[in-house]
Structure 1
Amino acid sequence: MIDIMSIASGMFLLVGSVFTLIGSIGIVRMPDVFTRLHAAGITDTLGAAGVLLGLALKAGFSLLLVKLLLMLVFLLLLNPTACHALARAALHGLRRPWMD
């Protein structure tokens, strides 16, 4: 019988995968580096966090759970920082935001 943890884990994995797919489509469809970073930074962070939470629920109480949660903390701290640094470097590299 399927328990609640398996259902919750599957839902987190599914939602994380959908966010990652939407972010990938946004990277291809957006016109300039700043909007691409916006699409990638937000959706990929949430997507990877969803996948890691789903895997953490599957892992149960073990050393693997600690490692997955540590990866999640680093991801949530470093991914927005890296996107900000890339956008700042693009702006200082004389790239102008796309204006309609």
Structure 2
Amino acid sequence: MSATDFPLWLQWLIAIFALLGAAVALLGSWGLLRLKTYYERVHAPAIIATMGCWLIMWASTAFYLASDTGPTFATLLIAVFVAVTVPISTIFLMRAALFRDRRAHRAVPPSISSTSLARTPPPPPAKLS
């Protein structure tokens, strides 16, 4: 069975998933060009690659389920592998960049804990008795 033998609604579903995955990947690539610092740029491909991969995985899963070849778990395994490894590698890359920039005495983004502590209001003054 070829892809042209699929029902029209299934062809549209596969096309929508594949095009959405490609658009999400393009958005992540555009984020690499648009954002200025490494600390901003690292988020665009990390978040977008996982979502784009999952959309393409759903398109290929729908295609293989409808074709004569039957279901394939390779696409699911690839998507799970990307979903697990991309955030971990992004964390390691970010920590390495922070370590390098701190040792070189360059400006780094503030720590989350220091910014959240700075925004908390001071405690009320104690009453004198």
TM-score, reference length from structure 2: 0.67
Matched, 1:89 2:106: no
Aligned ranges for residues 1-100 of structure 1 at < 5 Å?
2-60=7-65, 62=69, 65-94=72-101, 96-97=108-109
Q: Deviations over 1:28-81 (max 9, x none)?
A: 111111111111111121112211221111111757621111111111111111
Percent same amino acid at aligned positions? 27
Gap regions ≥5 residues in structure 2: 1-5, 103-107, 110-129
Gap regions ≥5 residues in structure 1: none
Deviation of 1:5 (Å): 2.7
Distance 1:83 1:22 in 2: 18
Deviation of 1:88 (Å): 1.0
Q: CA RMSD in A?
A: 2.2
Is the radius of gyration larger for structure 1 or structure 2? 2
Distance 1:64 1:7 in 2: 19
TM-score, reference length from structure 1: 0.84
AA partner of residue 101 (structure 2): L
Deviation of 1:9 (Å): 1.4
Q: Is the helix fraction higher in 1 or 2?
A: 1
